[in-house]
Structure 1
Amino acid sequence: MNYSKILQGILDIGESMLKSGAENFRIEDSLYRMCKSYGFVRYDVFVIPSNIQITVETPDGEILTQIRHIETVSTNFDLLDHLNNLSRYVCKNTPDAKELRQLYLDTMNQKPPHPAVQYIATAMGGIGFAVFFGCGFMDGIAAAIASVVLVIAGNWLGRRESNLLIYNMILSFLLEVLVIFLVRLGIGAHPERIILGIVMLLISALGTTNGIRDLLQRDFISGLINIMNSLLGAAGIAFGIGLAMLLLNEVSFEGAALNRNIIVQLLSCTVGCTGFALCFKIRGRQVLYSSVGAFFTWGIYLLVYHFTPSNFAATLTAAVFVGFYAFTMARVNKAPSTVFLTASVLPLIPGSNLYYMMTGYVSRNREMAITQTNTLLSTCLAIAIGFLIVDVASRYLMATLKREYHIGKQS
């Protein structure tokens, strides 16, 4: 075999998985499995959000090292699902270098969804979470208009700007200006809640949660990178919205208030998460599974909070549920658990806290900044611990069933 080309093909798959939104430890697991299947004597894999490195020793005693630098990352869970299936096929069949390359190219050339799906999905996400945060009918119309603008401006800007802080700042500024003018025209009454529903897709609080989880698993580099990226993204949103408020003399902090009707909360967050699932390019039955997961995740949070009014306890319990739900769905559908986890956990993600934390720092409102920081960290910690509980329980369960779960470095 041409082991250099084989290693290149394995790294191509890992790079595309990372660019599609896969978690670092899942990429490492896939890469280790593929290296093991080809019979490398020794293999070492190192993955962080911006870099992948693999060093292997071939059966002939040759040492090979290849490195990839990752500049930009997006979210395409449909492609990630296909790449995961490809890695399974590679582990089972060990194709030669030429076939591996062709299989990879075929996987990367999947037909994209219709452009209209992006508009519909973003509108569902914006309107759903706007209602979730207490907006009314006219606010929903404003959110729909802003969602269309978000897609158009985001697509245009995304081809020209790779800096997350600047990208979020420009988009947030444009959206805030639009929402303020819509409210002044009588379309909507809660500009802050409207914009918060719209920018939920931009708020990368899941990165903060994953960062804390990485730190708890002693993956310090990935953890710090994920947390810093989340903070930079939130800072861009806060700067953009704050600038628009100051220029248009519309400075107000009414705060996020969830809809008082529990049924409306459940339905609106489910609609919003369905929209985000489509934005993440999840397809087919997996969209339905993500929606069902989001509904029950928020329902469990509300149920626990009703009996034990503790945000930490309710978040922890709901996080354990969604973790096990994603674990189960992943095995039933033979797909990455990330596909089912990301959209289903969105109701728990403290996007509003991350936004108000950065707004507090930008506006020099110390009390707001400290309060929101404490809530943000406790919520992220609860989610991270919930995921860790599921990970530990899953490892013991798979060990009891004598099945491989995650594999690592072999010497």
Structure 2
Amino acid sequence: MTELLVSHHGQKQTLQSPARKSSLGGVQKDLCLAVREGSLADVESALALLKKNGGNINSRNIFGLTPLHSAIWRNQVPIVRRLLAAGADPDARDGESGWSSLHRALHFGHLAVASVLLQSGASITLEDCKSRTPVDLLSGPVLQVVGSGYNSVATEVFSWGSGANYQLGTGNAHLQKLPCKVDSLHGFVIKLISAAKFHSVAVTSLGEVYTWGYGRGGRLGHPDFDIHSGQAAVITPRRVTSGLGSRRVKTIAAAKHHTVLATEGGEVFTWGSNREGQLGYTSVDTQPTPRRVSSLKLKIIAVAAANKHTAVVSESGEVFTWGCNREGQLGYGTSNSASNYTPRVVESLKGKDLVGVAAAKYHTIVLGADGE
């Protein structure tokens, strides 16, 4: 499991205290309600009542969720810490999909909570009902804009989790249970980051791309044969210099086997594995360096990449997808084993003003300018 983080800001909420109940079942509901809606003080009171009545902090509600699962969804770090200190099991799996708390934290993009879970010994290899580890549930690239222009303050990038493929950028393959600074990016103004199973990417305020990790199949974008053949890894961030020329990158997404970006001019470049057509062009099984998706004529403003498919949004609000469609993830109204190797507009979304897109292994989500 790998995670990257640039910056984080919490939000303060004012909520009503939950009502108290006397039965053991009521006490359990009381804790669940406090976790979902109450303050840290409410949670403390509910925990005291639970202990007094001999309750189990890891009991599940009718939806198969423990109080810790609910706290993860709410993204309240102090409450998560308190539940863990009280004995909440970070590896308890929910009753629907078999997700642990770390699965949920990474799916929702709650990085600070994920860090707390890792510090408490949460498993990074625990699989859900579909054999997915927590990092497989990232619903999209972890991105945060933190600066732009020449006068921006230098940022810091941190990573943690499994370094088995050198995807942490720390120069070694060690397991990092706590956030560790990516020292080789010190002094850079990083505006975008994205993490996938085997590699990570970063974009500077100048629009330059850096990648690191295990590059077999070309996912890192470097021309060296020993890198894209898998004989060598890139153990610290290295700038991608081939294929892009002087273009500045606006947005980027890393997936399990490939990478996609859009430049400030709206051009789309892809590289990596093309076995399911996820690169958007034919004639190659793998592409070791950035190559433009020439069939896209419109200016692209948003990109998303999943295991075997890619999706983008144009400035005019249209969505284009390509790659594997076995589960209907391309949005064409069909699901079959045939892959689509070139971008195709999602006809059913025409007329909508779309501005954002996210992709996971078997599905795609888009966001409208009106919040739809």
TM-score by length of 1: 0.25
User: Scaled by the length of structure 2, what TM-score is found?
Assistant: 0.27
Which structure has the highest strand share of the two?
A: 2
